[in-house]
Structure 1
Amino acid sequence: MFELSSIGIGYGSLLMLSLMILLLLTGMQLAFVTGFVALIFALGWFGPPALGIVTSRMYSFIGSYVFLAVPMFVLMAALLDHSGIARDLFDAMNRLGRKLRGGVAVQTLVVAMILASMSGVIGGETVLLGILALPQMLRLGYDRNLAIGTTCAGGALGTMLPPSIVLIIYGLTANVSIGDLFKGAFLPAFILAMLYIAYVLIRVWLNPSLAPLPDEQDADDTPAPNFFKALMFPILSVITVLGSIYSGIASVTEASALGVVGIALSTLIRGELNLDMLRKATMTTLRTCGMIIWIGIGATALVGVYNLMGGIEFVRDTIFAVSGGHGLATILFMMAILLVLGMFLDWVGVALLTMPIFVPIIIELGYSPIWFGVVFCMNMQVSFLSPPFGPAAFYLKSVAPKGITLGQIFTSLLPFIGLQLIALALLIAFPQLALWWE
C-alpha cells in the first residue's frame, strides 16, 4: 500500500497545497477543505493512530476559556446592529461636523472608530455606515469615490481597534496575552484612522468640489439630536469594556460579558429591547461564531497534521533560505505571504494556518510576538479591502444605493489601501508603536 510519507515533506507540502487549492476552486468551504485535507494526510502519512492527536488539538482550541470572548463581542455587535444606538450617534456627530468641509466624511470615520471600539466586528459596522453615512454623503454632493472609500475603509477599522476579534484569534493561536495585544494595537489603529482623516481633509482642501458644505448645498432643518442620549451609551460601553481591560479590573473574557450586559441595558433603557431583537441578534451571533469555530477546527487539525509531518520545520528552513536569514527580509517575506493569502482566504483561516508556523520564527529572530500580532492585524486590515475578495467591499455592496458596482467600490478603496500599507510600513519600521505601553 502506497504511503504518502514516502514522497517526502517537500513534495508532501506541495501536494497538500495543491489539493487545498483544487478543493477551494470547487466551491467547498475553507473549513471543510482544511478538515478533509487533514484527514487524508493524517491517514495517508501516519495511519489511524494519528487521529487521536489531531482531535486533542481541536479540543484544546475550542475548549479555551478566552475563546468565550468571541461570541460575547459578536453578540455586542449584533445587539448594536439591531438597536438605534449607532443611528443616534451618527446623527449627533453629523450635527457637530456639518460646518467643516468634508465634515460628514470625517465624522463618519469618527463614528466608525467608536463603533469599532464597542464591538470589534467589521461586517455590522460596514453595513451600518453603508446605510447611514453613504446615502448622506451622496445626497450632499460628495464625490462618489471619496464617499464610498471613506464608508468602506471606516467600517473595516474594527479589524484593528480593540476589542478586535482578529486580535483575540491571534492571541489564542500564538498563546500570548490578548490584553497586551489590545494595548499594543490601540496606537497603530489610531494612527491609521488619523491617516484616513488627514487624507480626506487634504483631498477636500485641494479640491473643494469633492465635498460641498451642507449649508451651501442642502441645509439641515431637522431638530438637533439629544447629544446626551446619543453619546452617553457608546462612551459608557467603550469605557466599560476597554477601561476594565486596560486597568486590569477584568480579563478580556470578563470584559466581553460586561460589554454585552452594558449594551443590553442600554437598549432596554432606550425601549428597544424585545424578544424579536434578541432572536435576531442571537441568530446573527450563532452564524458568525459557527463559521469561526468550523474554520478553527479544520485549520487546527490541518496544522496539527502538518506539524507531525515535520512541515513547520520545513517551512521555517524555506523562509530562512529565501530571506537569507535576515530579520527584516524574513518579516517582509512573511508580509508578502499574508497579503497574498488575505486576498483569497478568510482571515480566520489565514491566522490559524500561518501563525503556528510564523510566530515561533518571529520569537527565534528576537521579535516580540505582541508586536507581530499587531503587524498581522494591520496586514489583515489590508486584506479586508483588497480585491478580488475583500469582505468589506461585499458588505458595503449589499446595502449600497443602486448604480454602485463592486468594481467601483474596489477602485474607491485603492487610496485607503495605500494608506494601510503606509501604516503597516511605519509599524514594521518602528516596533515601539505597538510596544509603547511596556
Structure 2
Amino acid sequence: MEVFGSLQPLGIEAGTFLMFALLLGLLVTGIPLAFVTLLVALIFALGWFGPTVVPLITSRVYSFVSSFVFVSVPMFVLMAAILDRSGIARDLFDAMRLLGGRLRGGIAVQTILVAVILAAMSGIIGGEVVLLGLVALPQMLRLGYDKHLAIGVVCAGGALGTMVPPSIVLIIYGLTANVSVGDLFTAAFMPGLMLAGFYVAYVLIRARLNPSLAPIADGPAEPLSEKLRLLKGLILPLLVVGGVLGSIYGGIASVTEASAVGVAGVLLSTVVRGEFSLALLKGAALQTLQTVGMIVWIGIGASALVGVFNLMGGIRFVSAMITGISDYPIVILLFMMLILFVLGMFLDWVGIALLTMPIFVPIIVQLGYDPVWFGVLFCMNMQVSFLSPPFGPAAFYLKSVAPPGITLATIFRSLLPFICLQILAVAMLIVFPGITGR
C-alpha cells in the first residue's frame, strides 16, 4: 500500500518530466501507443492519488466513447472499406481521363481530382493511397512520368482524405475540443481545395518547365460513345458526395446521420453496379472493426492519460509554460505548430489530437483565436505528418502496393516538395485565417 501516493512528493514539474520520459521510453520498445498511454495513466493514477481516482478516469473514458458524433467514425471507415473492394474508384479514375485530355501532366492532375472526390466520400487516407497506388501510379509510370512526381502525387493526393470533409481528423478534433463538427467541415472545405490546388499548380508548373517529367499520352482522341461510357463512372460517386455533404451543409442531417447516408449510398452503388456480395460486406466490416478498434483503443488510453494529468495539475502547468514563452500570441501559436510537427513525425494523429488538444485548445481560446480555425490549422498540420519521415503512414501504404523497384527511401525523397507545399498551406492559414470563412 505504500506505493499509493508515492509519486506526489515529486511535484508537478518532476512528475510531468517523469511521465513524458516514461511515455517515450515505452514507445521506443515498440509497444502500441494505446497500451503505453493506458499503462502510464494507471501507474500515475495509483502512484499519485491511489485507487480512489480510478472511477473518475473511467468516467472520462466513457464520455469519450459514448459520444453520438463518434458513431460517424465507423460509418466513414466502412464507406472507405466498401470503396476499397468495389470498382467505383477505378471507374472514377477512368472517367476523369476526359478532364486530363491532352494536357501535359494531365494524368497527375486527374489523380489529384480523383483523390479529392474519394476524400469527400470517405475521410480516411489508407484506402485512398492504396487505391491510387494500384490504379494511378502504374499508369503514370507506363506513360513515362517521372517516378518522383508520380509517387508524390499519389501519396499527397491520397492524404487529402484527412483534410477534405468529411474528415475523421476533424471529427476527433471536434470531440476533443468540444466544438461543432459541422462548423469544422464548413471551415475546412476551402483550405482542403486550396491544398489540392497547390498540388495541381505544382504539377503543371513542373511539367511546363520540364516536359520530360510528364509526357502527353499518344493515340487518337476518345470517340463520343467512349466518352459517354466513361462519364457514367462519375455519376454514382458524385451522387454519394452530394448526399453526404449536401445533407450536412443543407442542414438536413447531422454529421452522424450523414455518415449513415453515405454508407447507404455506397452500398446502393455496389448493388447497382452488380458488385455487392456478402463476402464484400464481410471484408469491409472486418476492416472497419480493425481500423475503428485501433482508434477507440488509442482514444481510451489518451483520454485516461490526459484525465490523470489534468487531476495532477499538469495541464495548468504545461499551459503556463507554453504561454510564458512569449507575450505575442503568434509566437505561442507557431510554437504549438512546431510541437505538432515534431510529434507528427513519430506518433499517430489520433494520439496527437487526444493528448495535445485538451492542453492547446484552452490556450488558443485564451489568446483570442477561434478554436474552429485552429482545428482546420491542426488538420492541415497533420497533413505533413502523413508524409514526413521516418513514420509517414502514406509512404508505407504506398510501399505495400508499389512496384518492386520503388524503395521507401525513394518514396520519402519524392514527398519532400509536397511537404513544402503543405507547410506553405499551413502558413497561408495562419496569415489569412479568412480562408476558413471564420
Q: Note whether the superposition's TM-score is higher than 0.5.
A: yes
Residue of structure 2 equivalent to 1:17: 20
After the TM superposition, which of the residue ranges 24-33 and 219-228 deviates more from structure 2?
219-228
| Number of positions where the alignment pairs a residue of Structure 1 with one of Structure 2 | 434
Residue of structure 1 equivalent to 2:394: 392
Query: How much has 1:111 moved relative to structure 2?
Result: 0.3
Query: How much has 1:220 moved relative to structure 2?
Result: 8.5
Tell me how far apart the structure 2 counterparts of residues 348 and 24 of structure 1 sit (CA, whole Å): 15
The CA RMSD over aligned residues, in Å, is 1.4
Letter in 2 for 1:396: L
Letter in 2 for 1:268: V
Letter in 2 for 1:239: G
Tell me how far apart the structure 1 counterparts of residues 393 and 401 of structure 2 sit (CA, whole Å): 13
**Counterpart contact for 1:92–1:225, Cα < 8 Å:** no
Query: How much has 1:159 moved relative to structure 2?
Result: 1.0
Paired residue for 1:172, among 162, 170, 175?
175
Q: Secondary structure at the match of 1:215?
A: coil
Letter in 1 for 2:401: V
Tell me how far apart the structure 2 counterparts of residues 245 and 288 of structure 1 sit (CA, whole Å): 24
- Alignment pair present for 1:274 and 2:264: no
Q: Secondary structure at the match of 2:324?
A: helix
Q: Percent identity?
A: 67
Letter in 1 for 2:107: V
Paired residue for 1:31, among 29, 34, 48?
34
Query: How much has 1:226 moved relative to structure 2?
Result: 1.8
For residues 296-355 of structure 1, what are the alpha-carbon distances to aligned partners after superposition, in whole Å with 9 as ceiling and x for unaligned? 000000000000000000001110122x13210010000000000010000000000000
Paired residue for 1:422, among 421, 424, 434?
424
Query: How much has 1:207 moved relative to structure 2?
Result: 0.5
Query: How much has 1:431 moved relative to structure 2?
Result: 1.1
Residue of structure 2 equivalent to 1:355: 357
- Alignment pair present for 1:292 and 2:295: yes
- Alignment pair present for 1:69 and 2:65: no
Letter in 1 for 2:360: F
- Alignment pair present for 1:321 and 2:324: yes
Q: Secondary structure at the match of 1:27?
A: coil
Query: How much has 1:224 moved relative to structure 2?
Result: 4.9
Query: How much has 1:402 moved relative to structure 2?
Result: 1.1
Letter in 2 for 1:16: M
Q: TM-score, normalised by structure 2?
A: 0.97
Tell me how far apart the structure 2 counterparts of residues 224 and 262 of structure 1 sit (CA, whole Å): 25
Query: How much has 1:401 moved relative to structure 2?
Result: 0.8
Query: How much has 1:225 moved relative to structure 2?
Result: 6.7
Tell me how far apart the structure 1 counterparts of residues 260 and 226 of structure 2 sit (CA, whole Å): 36
Tell me how far apart the structure 2 counterparts of residues 328 and 252 of structure 1 sit (CA, whole Å): 32
Tell me how far apart the structure 2 counterparts of residues 66 and 287 of structure 1 sit (CA, whole Å): 19
Paired residue for 1:341, among 340, 343, 361?
343
- Alignment pair present for 1:366 and 2:349: no
For residues 84-126 of structure 1, what are the alpha-carbon distances to aligned partners after superposition, in whole Å with 9 as ceiling and x for unaligned? 1000000111243131110000000000000000000100000
Tell me how far apart the structure 1 counterparts of residues 205 and 121 of structure 2 sit (CA, whole Å): 29
Tell me how far apart the structure 2 counterparts of residues 384 and 99 of structure 1 sit (CA, whole Å): 32
Tell me how far apart the structure 2 counterparts of residues 26 and 226 of structure 1 sit (CA, whole Å): 54
After the TM superposition, which of the residue ranges 223-232 and 53-62 deviates more from structure 2?
223-232
Tell me how far apart the structure 2 counterparts of residues 318 and 70 of structure 1 sit (CA, whole Å): 34
**Counterpart contact for 2:163–2:380, Cα < 8 Å:** yes
Residue of structure 2 equivalent to 1:191: 194
1:20-419 equivalent positions in 2, closer than 5 A: 20-215=23-218, 224=227, 226-322=229-325, 324-419=326-421
Query: How much has 1:405 moved relative to structure 2?
Result: 0.3
**Counterpart contact for 1:91–1:225, Cα < 8 Å:** no
**Counterpart contact for 1:299–1:353, Cα < 8 Å:** yes
Tell me how far apart the structure 1 counterparts of residues 181 and 131 of structure 2 sit (CA, whole Å): 27
After the TM superposition, which of the residue ranges 2-11 and 412-421 deviates more from structure 2?
2-11
Letter in 2 for 1:121: I
Query: How much has 1:261 moved relative to structure 2?
Result: 0.4
After the TM superposition, which of the residue ranges 309-318 and 2-11 deviates more from structure 2?
2-11
Letter in 2 for 1:375: L
**Counterpart contact for 2:341–2:382, Cα < 8 Å:** yes
Tell me how far apart the structure 2 counterparts of residues 225 and 27 of structure 1 sit (CA, whole Å): 52
**Counterpart contact for 1:32–1:298, Cα < 8 Å:** yes
**Counterpart contact for 1:214–1:220, Cα < 8 Å:** no
**Counterpart contact for 1:35–1:297, Cα < 8 Å:** yes
Q: Secondary structure at the match of 1:344?
A: coil
Q: TM-score, normalised by structure 1?
A: 0.97
Tell me how far apart the structure 2 counterparts of residues 159 and 275 of structure 1 sit (CA, whole Å): 29
Q: Which runs of 4+ in 1 moved over 6 A?
A: 218-222
Q: Secondary structure at the match of 1:214?
A: coil
